[in-house]
Amino acid sequence: MTLPAGLTAVEVRGHYIRNDGSIPSGTVTLTPTTTRDSASLNLTVFAASVRITIDNTGRFARTVVAGNDPDLSAISYMRVDERIDGESRTYTILVPESAFVTGLDLADAAPLEPVSDMAGYVLLSSVGVTIAPLVAGLVPIVHLPPASSGVVAQIQLTANAAVALSGHRVVTPRPDGTLEYASNAVASHLHAPLWITQGAVTIGQSATVLAYGSLTESSWAWTPGGPLFLGADGLLTQIPPVAPGALFSAQIGTATRATAAFFDRQPSIGLV
């Protein structure tokens, strides 16, 4: 697929077999969640459905648009309608621009479930939000600020450290709610929440972490506009993770300046 400058093509693929190992028949339809106009690119990406018939090996692959133009951010959200052997399944996934190298396998894509109470969250007033304490990784609705015009500046959470943690490292909650370093080499972190520590803490100390929003750190030296990935042991990197050292790739932010980044965790992509 040839796309205008400013758009990125990502291959979406899938592989289906029956329970006995034989090959089923059916189709997969991919539909962007909305038609989007881009003033910066002077084009419209229409939310047209693409229907693909799986082949005689049970596979399909189709290239779709994942927009890196901020005007087209919602074009990355794709509805998937599977019709396999007469059975139907429909869900929504995110097709991130960062998957342009590896592509996106439906078996690795985490379905996005709509949550009506959170639907307007990123349109709330520009305030800092601190949730304390963190319970099972959930943000209670009662702690959200009242809706108004503007955007959320930050979403912060607090939880106790399971180990000594350095500042500006990626962490994830353990089953008991305490925090440890996240790593792209740990399978259980594939779809886990990923947050950024605001400062160093000792074992058992309450840590404040950033779940969403911008952050500045004078020691950083990022390439502006480049994605930030989870590395090993909670480290941030702009080098896309690869197997076998990494089990998955997770973009958790984008560098806005050499010493600043905006964090917004994207679905992980499993690496083979």
Band of pLDDT at residue 63, cut at 50, 70 and 90: confident
* Domain end residue (candidates: 105, 134, 166): 105
Query: What are residue 138's DSSP bridge partners?
Result: 135
Residues 85 and 180 in one domain: no
* Domain end residue (candidates: 82, 105, 128): 105
Band of pLDDT at residue 151, cut at 50, 70 and 90: very low
Q: What is the mean pLDDT of residues 66-91?
A: 74
Residues 95 and 194 in one domain: no
Residue 73, pLDDT > 80, answer no
Question: Where in the sequence is the domain holding 49, given as residue range(s)?
Answer: 7-105
Residues 169 and 266 in one domain: yes
Count the Cβ atoms, other than its own, within 10 Å of residue 211: 20
**How high is the pLDDT of residue 116?**
37
Does residue 141 lie in a domain region?
no
pLDDT tens-digit map of 183-242:
999 999 988 899 999 999 999 999 999 988 888 998 999 998 889 999 999 999 999 999
Predicted TM-score (pTM) of the model is 0.48
Peptide bond into 133 cis (omega under 30): yes
pLDDT tens-digit map of 8-30:
788 899 999 998 889 999 999 98
User: From CA 95, how far away is CA 255, in angstroms rounded?
Assistant: 20
Q: What is the largest CA-CA distance in the chain?
A: 57
pLDDT tens-digit map of 92-143:
887 777 777 788 888 877 665 443 333 333 333 333 444 444 444 444 444 4
Which secondary-structure segment (H or E) carries 91?
A: strand 87-94
* Domain end residue (candidates: 45, 76, 105): 105
Residues 163 and 235 in one domain: yes
Residue 60, pLDDT > 50, answer yes
CATH code of residue 20 = 2.60.40.10
Residues 88 and 186 in one domain: no
Q: What is the mean pLDDT of residues 159-187?
A: 93
Does residue 211 lie in a domain region?
yes
Residues 161 and 69 in one domain: no
Does residue 199 lie in a domain region?
yes
Does residue 127 lie in a domain region?
no
Residues 94 and 164 in one domain: no
Q: What is the mean pLDDT of residues 75-95?
A: 82
Number of folded domains that form the chain: 2
